[in-house]
Amino acid sequence: MFGVLVVEQETGYAFLAAYSGLLEGRNDWPYFVPPVFDAQQPDGHFKRTECEIMQSSNHKQMSQDLQQWLFHQYRLLNARGEVKDLVDIWQEYHRSPRIRRKYPLPPGGTGDCCAPKLLQYAYQHGLKPVCMAEFWWGPSPKSEIRHHEQFYPACRGKCKPVLTWMLQGLEVDPNPEEANFSHLVPEIVFEDETIVVLNKPSGMLSVPGRTENYSVATWAKEHWPGAMPVHRLDMWTSGLMVIAKTEEAYHHLQRQFEQHTVKKKYLAVVEGVPAKEHGIIDLPLLSDPLNRPCQMVDYEYGKRAITEYRVLHTHSSLITPHLSLLALWPHTGRTHQLRMHCAHPDGLGCPIVGDELYGNKSDRLYLQAQAITFIHPQTGRRVHLEIKADFDDNLCRYLNN
């Protein structure tokens, strides 16, 4: 990852440049700001101790001691001129005993990303940060999804605790994760004494989030006391959600989801045209612990995820890019399964339009849970419900011409 920070100085505005970690094994390339702490010196304590560890039988303890020593060397400034090392920053940010037990020290490489390097250099040289951006350059890694020249936010696992400290004393824009969401209202598609099926609009949470309580779950409880969502959709995914009015109905429907007998069909508009008109994507997924809620493809530890797809329409012109309308049938229910399977090079290599995590930003995520089939928990009859695409009319018109 590369980063640029615009700064204000006495003579006007300037910019600083940085890269995350090492670039071709070096952290001292000219033009870029230096690391917060240089652990790569051949005769330095870190490298000398690394050599000792290689020759010792007590690898684990010595490695942990060296890592802790290293993090204490990263003494990071904030805009007030205050200083803390990485260990103190990490422990102050993660107050939960459970998190502290699981992650007593920051992950390896913390403090070596673009943003901490840029801010540290600016503070040390009396420069006022104005704005900053990070972007990916080059081919994507195999496990994650990164697009050449695409902008990305700082990672959650390593950088969020550090930046929470380093940005103190600066006037910054409101955190979009903590902004108030508009209170959208779902549409009732089907209702009887035991269940409700709602059409969730894009931009509405399925269940309460970290900073926002309003959701499909809270809206449903206001209308039907004791109502419980049986499954979830991503915030930016629209479409059908099943709500149980009774505990008995909830458990009955939950078993159907667990046994994979519920059939779901999604519509997605993707960038590009898949190589085949119809096929099966089988890519194992694993949560990225340092960058939640992002997922990774991991062939060793990932959980199997299977998606069937079919190309319904394609469109391209001189003024619009190649776009395709897909039908997607998930055979498993992993987090971000459809988004990853569409975007990853080992899948379709065609990110869903508006997918900010794995593709490019747009007015919304063009993914809709369009149809669902299940057994009614009270009558035992098969229920099939389907709704029309709620995508932008102009985009749909392009795809159908």
**Residues 338 and 353 sit within 8 Å (Cβ to Cβ):** no
Give, for 61, the enclosing helix (H) or strand (E).
Answer: helix 59-73
Q: What angle, 0 to 180 degrees and rounded to 10, lies between the N-to-C axes of helices 86-93 and 156-166?
A: 100
Where do the H-state alpha helices sit in 208-354?
216-223, 247-258, 337-343
In one-letter notation, the amino acid at residue 328 is: L
Where do the H-state alpha helices sit in 196-309?
216-223, 247-258
**Residues 82 and 168 sit within 8 Å (Cβ to Cβ):** yes
Structure tokens at 321: 């890019």
Residue 135 zone, left/alpha/beta (φ > 0; ψ -120 to 50; rest): beta
Return the active site residues: 234
Q: Give the bridge partners for 190, in sequence order.
A: 197
Residue from 153, 161, 69, 148 nearest 111 by CA: 161
d(CA 360, CA 358): 7
- The DSSP result for 120-154, as a single string, is HHHHHTTPEEEEEEEE--SSPPSSS---TT-EEPP
**Residues 227 and 243 sit within 8 Å (Cβ to Cβ):** yes
In one-letter notation, the amino acid at residue 230 is: V
d(CA 278, CA 281): 10
d(CA 249, CA 195): 7
**Residues 265 and 294 sit within 8 Å (Cβ to Cβ):** no
Going by their DSSP bridges, the two strands 295-297 and 285-287 should be labelled as antiparallel
According to DSSP, residue 178 is labeled G
At residue 359, what are phi and psi to the nearest 5 degrees?
-145, -120
